[in-house]
Amino acid sequence: MHQPIGEPPLRTLMVASTAGLCNRLRVLLSGMALAEATGREFTMFWPRTKDCAAGFAELFANPWPVYDVTDEEWANRRHTFSRERVRYNLLTTDVPQISLWTSHSLLMPQRFPAHKDLQHRMGELLALMQPIETIIARVEAFQTEAFRTRMIGVHLRRGDFRVFEPIIADNTATAMRAVDAYLAQAPDAGILLCTDDGALNQYSGKAVPTEGVRARFVQRYGERVVATTPRSLDRREPIAIHDALVDLWLLRQTDYFVGTVGSSFSGMAVLGRSVPVTMCQLQHPLRNLLPLRYWLRGERPLKWLVRYYWKLIRPRGVR
């Protein structure tokens, strides 16, 4: 697009994400909130990838400027996007055209306190999102059939977290303690359990060890535990993303929430909501020695080990 001579440059914010569903949603919502606040024209590109094989229009009915692109279209466009983590304040920058390819929220309230107010807007925008009719019908049918008056939502992230974030993924016992605390407040509550336990590693296509999360919850809590039955846990298949969106929307109807530290899915389940929330990971005092054991056994490469410990010690705000 060419600007007429003498007119100020068009201010735009263009984003793209090739990550999972909820990573994309936080890019979308934070980008829209920033664009509104700064008077920029907003656009998002939504390629189909191994992390999310479903297009935006397959999932949501909102007429927002989000464009599903083919592999060929994305290959031709991606060189125009910056992949670096933004190091300047997008709320105040004078850069006229911004193009970012990321899986992170564009809001960084730890570094830029004024961003905190826009997080509230992210929640408002999420509340305006409208899944397609078939998704909504599945959500409403499950609620009618399986929900009690009060529900505890539980999301235990597994899948590739078992490979890349084993300490976080080893959080079932911690989550059960959190559920017990909520049941003390609401003894008649049901438990909605959502997990990708048993999913393939979408990058390698290899099976990840299954923990048996659902069986453990049923053994402990009995018939109060309800769960959908995903048609697929392989994020390379569109139906797996459709099923994940059903779970996400169901979790957003619960009255208490137990989630997984660092999971964008858990974060999206409670964004903009005022419900009691507990995010869980392994709490053993020696938990940070576990990655060293993986490396010594030859189960993880040195690069993985270094990355893990760097994430623990890096200065706050560094990405």
Task: Convert the pLDDT of each residue in 217-270 to its tens digit.
Answer: 999 999 999 999 999 988 899 999 999 999 999 999 999 999 999 899 999 999
The residue type at 146: A
Token pair 């490396």 in the structure block, residue:
295
pLDDT of residue 97: 94
pLDDT of residue 317: 43
pLDDT of residue 284: 52
pLDDT of residue 87: 73
Residue ranges of the chain with per-residue pLDDT less than 50: 1, 316-319
pLDDT of residue 132: 98
| Helix axis angle, 213-221 to 172-185, nearest 10° | 30
pLDDT of residue 181: 97
Question: Do the Cβ atoms of 101 and 44 come closer than 8 Å?
Answer: no
98: number of Cβ within 10 Å:
22
Residues 6+ apart with CB under 8 A from 93: none
Return the beta strands (E) in 275-316 as ranges.
277-280
pLDDT of residue 177: 95
Query: Is residue 90 packed enough to be buried (19+ CB in 10 Å), middle (13-18) or exposed (0-12)?
Result: buried
pLDDT of residue 71: 83
Whether CATH 3.20.20.150 fits 133-283 = no
Nearest 5°: the CA angle 162, 250, 237 is 55
Q: List every span in the chain annotated with CATH 3.40.50.11350.
A: 133-283
Please list the residues that pair with 101 across neighbouring strands. Answer: 16
